[in-house]
Structure 1
């Protein structure tokens, strides 16, 4: 009797997913190393977050390697184990770890939306609801998978898997659209500052499109071919893409802040001040009304900054890391001093 198991769509797909995830985990290690070298005086919370994500992804990759080794090496002569044997525990735990990393990263992105949108509570709550809802669905899926303990039976969990992956894709799209709309409102009309906004917008869109595409692809493959490992090849790399996007967000702060002017006050649109990952908005309408009341003159100070990138092996000094952008200070009495 012919073997009903297609090795190319099961073991082959799992092996390809493992290889691609190894390449991405290498990029993640480089990003983590670069972060600790370039930002030795960064906030302890950021350092702890980077270390936690890196450790979780290393453990996640170890579990992926374990399950691939189990099916391709330990049971090389018994391919029927994939369908009729017990599901290897590392495969199920890996699903939860991937969802956990995605939850951490999306929570950080939700905080960025909160800051960029001027503390928009409904959209932030929606993102957090979908994010933690996806995590809960992933945990429920893992519990049911341990109870069924057979890959042929796990295909019956399509509803949980579809809801989890669908929530993840929807969250990525909402984050990308929200950041794009918020950043669009920060345009000032100045070429230097608008170029920074454009770069951040493109980065937000690219990140959301990439992760949501992988999530949707995983969802479609799981619904169409639940008894093979095609969907696993994409899911193996999904959480690592989230981790890399988060690391890139932290590591590009110095590069982005080295472009544009320090401050631009008195324009017809809100001015954005970049501190780390947050934009703080100042409304020129308020400044204009105060100026008309006091009949004083507001001097526009523009400081051009040239950023020279150093070798990645050399840590940046505290001054290079922070790149302080001075905030305009106004007297508490509600008037602006004249020059």
Structure 2
């Protein structure tokens, strides 16, 4: 079987074609499992979260489940159904799952980028220019991906995708640029929120680390895909790497939702306080003004808390701060002789 493929092209082997698809499918399964655990954590810890977040999570779960099924169908078609006919991978028409998998991955990436653009909008005090730039790049990258999909249906075989190298490179490059601008913007605007208080500044530093990490991983995978696509177009290693890209976007979004309470705990822990250094850096929420009158109640309106936490807060005893008039009834009594 390997000799048959080698006759067609010395650069094409079982290892860098079916082997690459198998490794990509296996890693994608693992990453998909991590995504499922993130979604389970979200559903169990934030059952009272806003409906819009739940709809986005449900949409991402549906798209990624279909995406993983398409990846499985790709490998099954070329590795199992056509096991005795390796030339199908070289000369046969590419399957619809090959094309639609790329499309679904691009849609998931666009959804997550739009969600992060809204974070930039909130943390930047509604900066129209930077948010608009991120949105334009996101929609532009998605449009290029859709054009890539349409043109892919016109290709005679899998390896003819090299003809779309320029379009694919620009599409992935726009995605990398979007990630870099988003992460840089979040770091810049978060850094401006430093107040000089140790707890608040520590929280800002934590949020900056989250912003860098969420953008760095997807950018590295995108850049790796672009490099492999351009230097090794005669194999499928770049496709194996691309299999996990959309799932990393989904995981970064879920991690943002799931770390909200953890991050909130790093700031001042009292709700409705009037101190200017109150924790206002909650992930994914609107940043209120710094005035004392604007602080009360904002966290309740925009922070997702679980039913367990709400019940705990309701049952927690309130200890009065003014104990001047309080006297223990046992004080002042002499013990019985």
- The answer, yes or no, to whether TM exceeds 0.5 is yes
- Kindly tell me: are residues 148 and 180 of structure 1, through their superposed partners in 2, closer, same or farther at Cα, counting changes over 3 Å? same
Structure 2 residue aligned with 1:82: 89
Aligned-pair distance for 1:282? 3.2
1:154-192 Cα offsets, whole Å, 9 max, x none, are 210111101110000000000110000011011111111
Structure 2 residue aligned with 1:256: 263
- Kindly tell me: are residues 70 and 255 of structure 1, through their superposed partners in 2, closer, same or farther at Cα, counting changes over 3 Å? same
Q: Matches of 2:124 and 2:170 in 1, distance apart?
A: 28
Q: Matches of 1:23 and 1:86 in 2, distance apart?
A: 29
Aligned-pair distance for 1:153? 2.2
For the 8 Å contact 1:37–1:315, the answer to whether it is kept is: no
Q: Matches of 2:308 and 2:283 in 1, distance apart?
A: 15
For the 8 Å contact 1:39–1:316, the answer to whether it is kept is: no
Aligned-pair distance for 1:280? 1.9
For the 8 Å contact 1:272–1:282, the answer to whether it is kept is: no
- Kindly tell me: are residues 224 and 319 of structure 1, through their superposed partners in 2, closer, same or farther at Cα, counting changes over 3 Å? farther
Q: Matches of 1:320 and 1:28 in 2, distance apart?
A: 29
Aligned equivalent of 1:127, options 115, 129, 134: 134
Aligned-pair distance for 1:276? 5.5
Aligned-pair distance for 1:320? 6.8
Q: Matches of 2:240 and 2:206 in 1, distance apart?
A: 31
Aligned-pair distance for 1:15? 0.8
For the 8 Å contact 1:127–1:174, the answer to whether it is kept is: yes
Aligned equivalent of 1:54, options 44, 49, 61: 61
- Kindly tell me: are residues 272 and 281 of structure 1, through their superposed partners in 2, closer, same or farther at Cα, counting changes over 3 Å? farther
Aligned equivalent of 1:246, options 234, 248, 253: 253
Aligned equivalent of 1:193, options 200, 203, 215: 200
- Kindly tell me: are residues 105 and 28 of structure 1, through their superposed partners in 2, closer, same or farther at Cα, counting changes over 3 Å? same
Q: Matches of 2:312 and 2:240 in 1, distance apart?
A: 41
Instruction: Name structure 2 gaps, 5 residues minimum.
Output: 297-305, 314-337
Aligned-pair distance for 1:264? 7.0
Give yes or no for the alignment of 1:316 onto 2:308: yes
Give me the TM-score of the superposition, normalised by structure 2: 0.82
For the 8 Å contact 1:141–1:160, the answer to whether it is kept is: yes
1:286-312 Cα offsets, whole Å, 9 max, x none, are x8xxxxxxxxxx9xx9xxxxxxxxxxx
Aligned-pair distance for 1:200? 0.8
Aligned-pair distance for 1:149? 3.3
Residue correspondence of structure 1 range 37-48 to structure 2 within 5 A? 37-48=44-55
Aligned-pair distance for 1:234? 1.2
Q: Matches of 1:185 and 1:277 in 2, distance apart?
A: 17
Structure 1 residue aligned with 2:332: none
1:183-205 Cα offsets, whole Å, 9 max, x none, are 10111111111111111100110
Residue correspondence of structure 1 range 1-339 to structure 2 within 5 A? 2-3=6-7, 4=9, 5-261=12-268, 262=270, 265=275, 273-274=280-281, 277-283=284-290, 316-318=308-310
- Kindly tell me: are residues 162 and 43 of structure 1, through their superposed partners in 2, closer, same or farther at Cα, counting changes over 3 Å? same
Instruction: Please report the RMSD computed on the Cα atoms of aligned residues, expressed in angstroms.
Output: 2.3
Give me the TM-score of the superposition, normalised by structure 1: 0.81
Aligned-pair distance for 1:118? 0.9
Aligned-pair distance for 1:316? 3.0
For the 8 Å contact 1:272–1:280, the answer to whether it is kept is: no
- Kindly tell me: are residues 264 and 170 of structure 1, through their superposed partners in 2, closer, same or farther at Cα, counting changes over 3 Å? farther
Structure 2 residue aligned with 1:332: none
